[in-house]
């Protein structure tokens, strides 16, 4: 149980375009979803936290207008990288948690974004 999927697993886009990444909890309802970014040989850095039906809370230094997060249902959250630039190339990972076990997060497999 507690499986989280991401789609796509990897995406290549041109500079200036927008890319949407989906995060789904497959066998549970996630009250909270988290988005992380990981640059090569670095650790995971939390970008934002989103609760179903409410606006995401962004970490300091993360542009909310550039990284649009939508958490419309208890099983789906999306991250849209708008007007992507090469420096946005990274590994994006989502995780999900449930209210009953709020301190445990279940991670997705990640999405590799390459902006040309």
Partner 1 sequence: GESVGLHLPTLSVQEGDNSIINCAYSNSASDYFIWYKQESGKGPQFIIDIRSNMDKRQGQRVTVLLNKTVKHLSLQIAATQPGDSAVYFCAETSNSGGSNYKLTFGKGTLLTVNP
Contacting positions for partner 1 (CB under 8 A): 4, 6, 31-32, 34, 42-46, 49, 51, 57, 91, 93, 95, 97, 99, 102-110, 112
Beta carbon nearer to partner 1, 35 or 75 = 35
At 94 the three-state DSSP class reads strand
CB of 17 to partner 1, least distance (A): 23
What is the smallest separation between the CB atom of 58 and partner 1, expressed in angstroms?
A: 12
Which CB atom, from 44 or from 68, has the smaller least distance to partner 1? 44
Q: How far is the CB of 16 from partner 1 (least distance, A)?
A: 26
How big is the chain by its Cα radius of gyration, in Å?
13
Q: Which CB atom, from 18 or from 102, has the smaller least distance to partner 1?
A: 102
How many Å separate Cα 84 from the centre of its chain? 15
Overall size of the chain counted in residues: 116
Q: Which is nearer to partner 1, 5 or 73 (CB)?
A: 5
Which residue is it, tokens 């990972």? 93
């Amino acid at each position: 149980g507690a499986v989280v999927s991401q789609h796509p697993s990897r995406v290549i886009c041109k500079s200036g375009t927008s890319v949407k990444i989906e995060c789904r909890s497959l066998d549970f309802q996630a009250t909270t979803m988290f988005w992380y970014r990981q640059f090569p040989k670095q650790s995971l850095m939390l970008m934002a936290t989103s609760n179903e039906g409410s606006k995401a809370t962004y970490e300091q230094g993360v542009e909310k207008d550039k990284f649009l997060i939508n958490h419309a249902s208890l099983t789906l959250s999306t991250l849209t990288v708008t007007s992507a630039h090469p420096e946005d190339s990274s590994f994006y990972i989502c995780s999900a948690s449930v209210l009953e076990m709020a301190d445990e997060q279940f991670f997705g497999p990640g999405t590799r974004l390459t902006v040309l």
